[in-house]
Amino acid sequence: MRILLLLALLAPVSGAQTIEVENLFQPAPLTGMWKHHTGDDPRWADPAFDDSTWTSVTMPRPSRPDPRGITWYRFRIHLPEALPAEALSVLIGPLFPAYEIFANGRKIGQFGGPLGDQYGQLYARPVAFALPRATDLIIAIRSEDWNLAYGAQSTSAQRSLSWVGTEQSLADKASTWQLQRKEGTEPLRVAAVILFAGSLFFIILALMRRRDFEYLWIGIFLIGNSLFRFVQLVPEWLGSPDRATAGWYSVTFLLPTTFALLLFCQAVYKVKQDKIAWSAVGVLLLVYASMIPPIDEWLRTHNLSLGIWQPLLANLAELAIYSNFAWRGRHRPEKFWPIHLAFGVYIGANLIFYSIQTLAGLGVSGGGDLAPWEIGLRSAIVFLLFAMGLYLSLRSAAADQEQGRLQQELTAAAEVQALMLAAPSAANAAITVDCVYLPASEVGGDFYHVQRFPDGSQIAMVGDVSGKGLKAAMLVSVAIGVLRSLQSSSPASILKGLNDALAGSGGTGFVTCCCIRYEEGGTVTIASAGHPAPYCSGSEIEVVAGLPVGIVAGATWEETSITLMAGEQLTLVSDGVIEAENAQRELFGFERTREISGKCAQEIAEAAKAWGQNDDITVVSVRRNS
C-alpha cells in the first residue's frame, strides 16, 4: 500500500499535455497538443485539476471559438533540471484578444483588459509573462476568443507560436514579431497614407473650385476609408484601442463615406436619388450600425452577428449606389470611363477578397503574413485616386477647349462692340468731342453715343448698364440700337424713348446714363438718369438725377441748361472713373475726378486706370472751340 501511495504522489497529474523542453539556451516553441474547454470555473487553474476529459487542440492554432464566452486552455511544460540563472518567461502568441494566465495555480498576468462584453484588443500581439522557477509547470489560460477580427488567428502558424525561454530571449522574439508585422503590412500602410494624402488633395481642390462639389465628396469618401484602414493597420497610432473603441472609430470614419458616395454620384451624374439609391444607403447604414459596440455586443449575445458578411454587404450596397447613378446618368456627354473603371476595380476587388475570406471561413488578416493577391485586392481603392486624377485631366482638357471657344466668342463680341461704340463722323468746327472706352474685361457694360443732327445740334451720351459680362454687353447692344433709331434731339425725349424700349422688352436690366445736347451758340441741355453728374470748368454741374431707364415704364426726366463758353470743356464719366480703387482700397473718388475733369478724355481715363481699374471706364469730353 505504501508503494502504491508513493507512486501516486510521484505520478504526474493526469490530463494536461506535457511539452518537453530539452534546453533553454534559445527559446523553445510550445507546439503540440493543448487541452481546451469552453465554460468558466476558477478551479481549472489548479494544477491538480484533472483535464483528461477536455478536448485536445493542435497549437499554435486555437480551436474555432464559440460566438462568445470564456474558453480555457491547459498544458504542462517540463523544463531541464539545470535551469539558467536568468529569469524565465513564457511568451504567449497573438492568439486571444483578452486572457488571464496562470502558472501552477498562481495568476502571473493578463492581456487585453477584463474578459467579457466588448473588452479585449482588436489586435492580439505576443506578450511575455515571468514564470516561477520550477522544472514542471502547469500553464492555464482563461481566454475570451470571439471577435479577434484582425489578429493571428488568420495569419500563419509560425507567427502564432508561443515560446518559453529566458526573459531577454523572449523580448527579442517579441521585437522580431513586431518588426515582421510592420514589414508585412508595409504595402497596405503606404497605400493608406497615399489614400489619405490624395483625399486631402481633392478636399483642397474643392475649396479652390467652389462649384465642383464632386471633388469634396470624393475627398470625404477617400479620407473616411483611409482612416478606417489606419484602425486596421496601425492601431498603435490610435493608442492600440480595444475592440469597443476600435468599433467606435470604425463607425465614425465609415458613416460619412455613405453620404459622401451618394452626393459624389449625384454631383457627377447630375441625377437625383431614387428609391434604389436610398435603399442601398439604408443597407449601408444598417451594416455600419451593426458595428456600433453596444449593438455589436447585443447581436453577438443573440448569435445574430454579421461577422465577415459585414464588409460583403457594405460593398454590395456601394455597388448598387454607384451602378444606379451611373446607369441613370449614362446619357451625359462627359467621359466617365475612368470613374467606371476605378469603382469597378475597387468594389470588385473587395467583393473578391471578402468572398474568399467568407468561403474559406477566415477572419480578415492583420497579422502581417499577406499574400501578394491580398495586398493587391486590399489596395485597389488607391486606383480611385489615379482614376479621379485622369478624370480631372480629361475634364480640364474639355474645360480648356470650351474656354478657348468662349474666348473666341468674347473676342468677336468685343470687336463688334467696338464697332458699335465707334463715334460716327460728326465734324463740327465749333466743338471737339473725344470719346475713350476702357472695358474691364473683353466686353463691358458701359457705352457712349455721339450723334449730329441736321439743325447743327449734337448729342453726346455716356451710359452704364446693370450687370457684367455678356449679359451686360447684350443690353448695351440693345441700347445702342435704340439710340440710333431715335429721331429726337431732346435729352429728356431720348431718355424716354430708351426707357420705353427697355421697360417694354421684358428684360431685367436697367441703364444709368447722362445725355447732353449742344447747340450752336454754346447752349447745353442736360438730362440724367441716375448717372454721375457731368463736370464743367473743374466743377460738378447740378442736375436733377432721375430714375435709371428701364425700371418704370412711362417715366419722365427733367432737363437742365447751361452755357458752354469758348475754351470750356464739359466732361461725362462713368462710375468706373470715380470707383477706381488702389491697392490700399482707396477710391479715386469725386474730388480727384473733379480736379482732372478739365483734361482730355484720354488722360482722365488713363489716370483712373493707373489708380486701379475694377470696372469699365468711359469718358466723353465736349470742348467748345469758338
Strand partners, 446: 464
Please choose, from the candidates 159, 175, 150, the residue with its C-alpha nearest in 3D space to the C-alpha of residue 240. Answer: 150
pLDDT of residue 51: 92
pLDDT of residue 80: 87
pLDDT higher for 56 or 506? 56
- Alpha carbon distances (Å) from 563 to 445, 524, 625: 31, 6, 13
pLDDT higher for 264 or 148? 264
pLDDT tens per residue, range 162-176? 999 999 999 998 888
Q: Alpha-carbon distance 557 to 528, whole Å? A: 7
pLDDT of residue 33: 86
pLDDT of residue 398: 74
pLDDT of residue 122: 66
Cis peptide before 60 (omega within 30 of 0): yes
Q: State the fold for domain 423-624.
A: Phosphatase 2c; domain 1 (3.60.40)
CATH architecture type of domain 12-161: Sandwich (2.60)
Is residue 230 a contact partner of residue 237, using CB atoms and an 8 Å limit?
yes
CA angle centred on 578, ends 575 and 583, rounded to 5°: 120
* Arithmetic mean of pLDDT over the chain: 82
The region that residue 536 occupies, defined by phi over 0 for left and psi between -120 and 50 for alpha, beta otherwise, is beta
Is residue 110 a contact partner of residue 101, using CB atoms and an 8 Å limit?
yes
Q: Alpha-carbon distance 260 to 254, whole Å? A: 10
At 477, list the grid cell.
447692344
- For the question of whether the overall pTM of this predicted structure is more than 0.75, the answer is no
pLDDT tens per residue, range 31-40? 888 898 888 8
Q: Taking 90 as the threshold, does the pLDDT of residue 137 lie above it?
A: yes
> Sheet holding 535-536: strands in order across?
431-438, 617-624, 569-573, 535-536, 539-540
Q: Alpha-carbon distance 487 to 453, whole Å? A: 9
User: How confident is the model over 259-277, as a mean pLDDT?
Assistant: 91
pLDDT of residue 365: 41
Confidence of residue 119 (pLDDT cuts 50, 70, 90): low
Residues with Cβ within 8 Å of 148's Cβ and at least 6 positions away in sequence, in order, are 65, 96, 97, 120, 124, 363
pLDDT tens per residue, range 385-431? 788 888 877 777 777 777 777 766 666 566 555 655 555 555 577 88
Q: Alpha-carbon distance 181 to 186, whole Å? A: 8
Provide, for the chain, the percentages of residues in helix, strand and coil under a 3-state DSSP scheme, each rounded to the nearest 5.
45, 20, 35
Q: Alpha-carbon distance 351 to 312, whole Å? A: 6
Residues with Cβ within 8 Å of 388's Cβ and at least 6 positions away in sequence, in order, are 198, 202, 215, 218, 338, 339, 342
pLDDT of residue 151: 40
Q: What does the domain layout of the chain look like in residue ranges?
A: 12-161, 184-399, 423-624
